[in-house]
């Protein structure tokens, strides 16, 4: 079993990623830490608590509130045009009685890294602010973490918020820079692989056909939230009746790295540029010099990944 902290700005694909992690027998979710991004951190926290309740997790999953803004920049704008006003495609799912911890996200990460030294995996599905704050407080974190799987960045493909930048890195480039250059063992699950891993309308129909008493509310939620997500991708002329599963793929890879091909690269995060802020610049020269060692996902078995993502909801 893989012990994970999931750090999320709980939007539509984060929610599906968390649902999968809570349902997969191969994963133990040690906690979820929340961060601003798709929506504000309060909304991300509320969504996370609702998703944990919806999943009906068989064990307690603590939730710790994290950053409300980037390390060094002002208050952000949110991506409600992508994820809906409430961040989960305006789907209405029941509120939870569970309260978030008093402990802040960075302190929670540090405490868990000591309790589970050498075993803990961090999966980031949003801005890297919380992990950056944790490693700045205690650089010893690097030795205690097994691996950080980062949904973010793009090396051989365009960005999604700017010509060269992916949203999670662009939303706090200074934090990404801290994490990438900290010595933490980072695997980058970027747009190179997430943009070709698509959930489609026929996958949703398959979920619907295989619904049973125990999974009805979850299937309804996945369908409703993804209707919103598909519409965003259709209206931006990117995909028809489908959407990339950025965040779920990252959890899938953290659970089973054999789903992807990776290559160790030297990568720098661009901070001081109007046009290129948030770019993950890989030094692909024969003798690379610039950047930190990052394991970059370059290819994925997308069919297997999507089948695996659906598996806990249909059996
Ligand atoms: C990332 O940005 C957010 O909109 C998604 O939740 C995902 O984490 C993709 O660029
Ligand atoms: Ca996300």
Residue 205, class by beta-carbon neighbours within 10 Å (0-12 exposed, 13-18 middle, 19+ buried)? exposed
pLDDT 10s digits, 212-230: 888 999 999 999 999 999 9
- The alpha helices in 56-137, defined as continuous H runs, are 80-83, 105-115, 129-137
pLDDT 10s digits, 48-83: 999 999 999 889 999 999 999 999 999 998 988 898
Q: Considering the entire predicted model, what is its pTM? A: 0.98
pLDDT at residue 238 in the model = 87
Are residues 36 and 69 in contact, defined by beta-carbon separation less than 8 angstroms? Answer: yes
The confidence band for 123, taking pLDDT boundaries of 50, 70 and 90, is: very high
Of 125, 172, 253, the one to substitute when testing ligand 1's pocket (max ligand atoms within 8 A of C-beta) is 125
pLDDT at residue 257 in the model = 98
Q: From residue 58, give the alpha-carbon distance in Å to each of 24, 97, 207, 305.
A: 11, 16, 22, 24
Q: Is 212 a known active-site residue?
A: no
Q: Which residues line ligand 1 (CB under 6 A)?
A: 11, 13-14, 38, 79, 82, 125-126, 151, 160, 166-168, 246-247
* Cα torsion through 9, 195, 231, 176, rounded to 10: 30
Of these residues, 83, 203, 226, 246, which one is catalytic?
246
Structure tokens at 68: 């409300």
ipTM associated with this complex? 0.98
Of these residues, 9, 14, 172, 177, which one is catalytic?
9
Q: Is 9 a known active-site residue?
A: yes
């Amino acid at each position: 079993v893989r012990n994970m902290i999931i750090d999320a700005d709980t939007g539509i694909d984060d929610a599906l990623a968390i649902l999968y992690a809570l349902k997969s027998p191969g994963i133990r979710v040690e906690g979820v830490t929340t961060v601003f991004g798709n929506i504000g951190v309060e909304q991300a926290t509320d969504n996370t608590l609702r998703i944990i309740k919806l999943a009906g997790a068989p064990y307690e999953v603590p939730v710790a509130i994290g950053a409300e803004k980037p390390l060094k920049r002002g208050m952000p704008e949110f991506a409600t045009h992508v994820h809906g006003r409430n961040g989960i495609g305006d789907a209405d799912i029941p509120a939870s009685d569970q309260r978030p911890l008093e402990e802040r996200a960075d302190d929670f990460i540090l405490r868990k890294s000591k309790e589970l030294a050498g075993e803990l995996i961090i999966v980031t599905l949003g801005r890297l602010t919380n992990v950056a704050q944790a490693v700045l407080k205690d650089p010893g974190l690097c030795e205690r973490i097994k691996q950080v799987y980062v949904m973010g960045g793009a090396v051989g493909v365009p960005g999604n918020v700017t010509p060269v930048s992916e949203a999670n890195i662009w939303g706090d480039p200074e934090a990404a820079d801290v994490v990438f250059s900290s010595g933490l063992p980072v695997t980058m699950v970027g747009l190179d692989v997430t943009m070709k891993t698509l959930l489609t309308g026929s996958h949703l129909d398959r979920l619907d056909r295989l619904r049973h008493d125990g999974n009805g509310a979850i299937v309804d939620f996945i369908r409703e939230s993804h209707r919103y997500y598909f519409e965003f991708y259709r209206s931006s002329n990117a995909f028809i009746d489908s959407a990339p599963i950025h965040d779920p793929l990252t959890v899938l890879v953290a659970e089973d790295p054999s789903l992807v091909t990776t290559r160790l690269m030297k990568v720098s995060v661009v901070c001081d540029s109007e046009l290129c802020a948030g770019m993950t610049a890989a030094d692909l020269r024969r003798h690379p010099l610039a950047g930190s060692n990052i394991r970059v996902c370059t290819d994925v078995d997308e069919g297997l990944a999507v089948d695996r993502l659906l598996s806990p909801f249909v059996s």
